[in-house]
Amino acid sequence: MSAWLWIIATLTVMLLLTTLLPLTRKTHWFFRVWDFPRLQQTAAGLALLALTAWQEPFSPTVTWLLLAVQLLCTAYQLWWIFPYTPLCRKEVITYSPKQRTASDHLRVMTVNVLESNRRSKTLLQTIQTERPDILIAVETDNWWMKELDDLGDLYPHVLRCPLDNLYGMLVYSVWPLEQESIEYLIEPEVPSMHFDVVMPSGRKIQMHCLHPAPPSPTENEKSVNRDAELVLVARRIKDHDGPIIIAGDLNDVAWSSTTRLFRKISGLVDPRVGRGMFNSFHAKLPFLRWPLDHLFHSQHFALKEIKRLPAFGSDHFPFLADLALLDSEAEVDNGMQPSAEDKEYADAVLKEVKAP
């Protein structure tokens, strides 16, 4: 048996296993981690298809069987990430003042600073250049709070929760904040922030800033706490009829079953759909990147601009979305509704963590 035969057979089995593992609802990190690298698995599947067709290391029957397995796995992975390519229909309309009127505009920037990172000057320069109206910074300790507080002239309204456990959070705003609260929804050391932004027109935007802990061998063994936080917030906001924005490092990818469940329950739309992935993590590993930092919103907005900003020493890139608050709701939705199985899973994770 040739070396190529062993290589192709082994890689095909690996591709099949990593495709099948996330199909289960199991919350252990070993199953959930394979939600993340679907772009990389798609690329690997295409490369493996080409290699198998080129080498033809088996009998015709076995070769065609391998090609069929590889093609099915690759197509399945591509199905998950396809909405985050320019080939898909845009979920959020692009703002055009000729077609829509907007009472207000809001630039929102989210950034995971990486608590141990000390290259604050680069980030501060980016903030000065981009001038977001709302800045959401996570993994912020007291050192980072002091650095970002230098922006006080730009941001008179601040909500602070610095922590040295990788879950500190700071929000800086040009516009006044009301109904501010810092909540520990699921875990006692993992905060989230909730507030209304009062825009110049007087309209209010309800915002929720999240940074749940990820499933990983070094943090939470299971994804249930992260999943429960997303479900809990989604259920809180699903009946709210005013403008809403959810933003932050969700420690989950845009295409995962959990993020999709969050969107099914909340009804929020994703401005990246039909535009691109805007992979924000890992800034230092070009071939191992996926979208961990997110912004979802209600149908009250159109998109002016969305982009990933330059690296500054963190393992995350900053992420910015420029939104127009429309005078009338856009006729768009995410096209997703929770199934009976989705509702059962949502109930189960909330019950497991004893969430209200």
CB 242 within 8 A of CB 199: no
Per-residue pLDDT, 56: 65
| pLDDT tens digits for range 166-218 | 999 999 999 999 999 999 999 999 999 999 999 999 999 999 999 999 999 98
Q: What is the pLDDT of residue 100?
A: 80
Q: How many Å apart are CA 204 and CA 199, to the nearest integer?
A: 6
pLDDT at 39: 97
CA atoms of 224 and 105, how far apart (whole Å): 36
Burial of 73 (0-12, 13-18, 19+ CB in 10 A): buried
Residues of the chain with CATH 3.60.10.10: 102-352
List phi, psi (to 5°) of 202: 100, -15
The backbone torsions φ and ψ at residue 319, rounded to the nearest 5 degrees and listed phi first, read -135, 130
Residue 272: strand, helix, or coil: coil
pLDDT computed for residue 101 by the predictor: 83
Bridge partner residues of 197 (DSSP): 177, 205
Domain 102-352 has CATH 3.60.10.10: yes
d(C-alpha 272, C-alpha 306), whole Å: 8
Q: What is the pLDDT of residue 201?
A: 94
Dihedral of the alpha carbons of 5, 10, 12, 14, in degrees to the nearest 10: -170
* Sheet architecture: strand order including 169-173: 157-161, 169-173, 134-138, 102-112, 319-326, 301-308
pLDDT mean for each 10 residues of the chain (356 residues) = 77 95 91 96 95 74 88 97 96 88 93 97 98 98 97 95 98 98 97 98 97 93 96 96 97 96 96 98 96 97 97 98 88 79 91 81
Contact 261, 287 (CB under 8 A): no
**What predicted TM-score, i.e. pTM, was given to this entire model?**
0.94
Ramachandran region of residue 233, left (φ > 0), alpha (ψ -120 to 50) or beta? alpha
Q: What is the pLDDT of residue 270?
A: 97
Task: State residue 327's pLDDT score.
Answer: 87
List b or e across 24-49, with b for residues whose CB sees 16 or more CB atoms inside 10 angstroms: eeebebebbbbbbbbbebbebbeebb
Reading the block at residue 336, the tokens are 């997703």
